[in-house]
Amino acid sequence: MNFTDAQLRAAERRGDALLDPHRQLAQALAQAEGYRNFLASLTGLLTAVFVLKGQEDLSQLGGRARLLVIALLAGGFVLLIAASWLSVLAVHGRPGVQVCSEPMRLLTYEVRRTRVVWRLVEWCRWLALVAICAVAAAVLVTWLAPS
């Protein structure tokens, strides 16, 4: 990758700023806040799935319909958890990752990190869409299946 002298100087200034202890603390606090928000949103997602499940008593459904509803809800849960986790990973990265302050390596990191974030967000979108469809299908099965 080729970077201009201005880009390298700007990256060097950003790298120096990353070494400031105050800035490191602010970044650590922001990561902690992101994980807290993740746990709160995950709790809300799981609560919403339970509320939307349809019939109160799945034992009234026939054997195959009951198994289908359970599989759809379990799959939806897993996909929502995966999407939530990937979104946190996209926003905050992995805890404790050290970013090199050398300008060329910092710029390379920023370019690669941007690509990773885009890829993770795309996965989150698709996982969330499939999860919502699975939960909706489970609700439809509980409403339409003969009891």
At residue 75, does pLDDT exceed 70? yes
Q: Does 53 have pLDDT greater than 60?
A: no
pLDDT at 51 over 70: no
- If one counts every other C-beta atom within 10 angstroms of the C-beta of residue 104, the result is 14
pLDDT of 56 above 70? no
Residue 6 — pLDDT band, cuts 50, 70, 90? very high
80-86: long-range pairs with CB below 8 Å, 24+? 80/42, 80/45, 80/46, 80/49, 80/127, 80/128, 80/131, 81/42, 81/45, 82/127, 83/123, 83/124, 83/127, 83/128, 83/131, 84/38, 84/41, 84/42, 84/45, 85/38, 86/120, 86/123, 86/124, 86/127
Tally the domains of the chain.
1
pLDDT at 50: 66
Confidence of residue 4 (pLDDT cuts 50, 70, 90): very high
Residue 126: is its pLDDT beyond 70?
Answer: yes
pLDDT in the model for residue 141: 86
pLDDT category, 31, cuts 50, 70, 90? low
Label residue 52 by pLDDT band (50, 70, 90).
Answer: low
CB 123 within 8 A of CB 86: yes
The 10 Å Cβ neighbour count of residue 121 is 13
Whether 147 contacts 56, CB under 8 Å: no
In this prediction, what percent of the chain has a pLDDT beyond 90?
Answer: 7
Domain encompassing residue 100: 5-144
Which residue in 98, 116, 118, 92 sits closest to 37, CA to CA? 92
Angle in degrees, CA 78, 79, 81, rounded to 5: 65
Q: Provide the pLDDT for residue 59.
A: 72
